Amino acid sequence: MQSNRLRQLAVDALEDLKAVDIVELDVRKLSDFTDYMIIATGRSARQVAALAENVVMKAKQAGEAPLGVEGLRGSEWVLVDLGDVVLHVMQPDVREFYQLEKLWSSREIPDRQSPRGAAS
């Protein structure tokens, strides 16, 4: 599967379960280990785990088994490595503390400038 299609599959799976503040970053010029990084927030440990598990399930259904999943036990921060796409799903306080967007923000995908999934 092309990395762009895999990125969209992950975002759609996050949106299915109401992830908050989904940010998609294009890191192809900054990284040799992945093309896209997706950062999203879940409101609780249960939602963080459910979001990550939904992405894993949808990826497997599309024939893309994850290379690794870390953090499901505590579910404060779950990382899903899909190869060309790396997903970080975090609880709000963890996301605020680590601020991954600031580290990678210069590569945000132009048509996705504002966070998606924010509560209205």
- Domain-located, residue 80: yes
* Domain that includes residue 28, residue range: 3-109
Number of domains observed in the structure of the chain: 1
- Domain-located, residue 98: yes
- Domain-located, residue 103: yes
CA 61-17-33 angle, to 5 degrees, is 60
Per-residue pLDDT of 20-51, as tens digits, reads 999 999 888 888 889 999 999 999 999 999 99
- Domain-located, residue 114: no
Whole-model pTM above 0.75? yes
Tell me, what DSSP letter sits at residue 71? -
- Domain-located, residue 118: no
Per-residue pLDDT of 74-111, as tens digits, reads 999 999 999 999 999 999 999 999 999 887 765 455 55
The CATH number of the domain holding residue 103 is 3.30.460.10
CA 5, distance to chain mean position in Å, is: 14
Lowest mean pLDDT of 43-52, 65-74, 111-120, name the range: 111-120
- Domain-located, residue 62: yes
- Domain-located, residue 120: no
Residue 105: its pLDDT value, please?
67
- Domain-located, residue 115: no
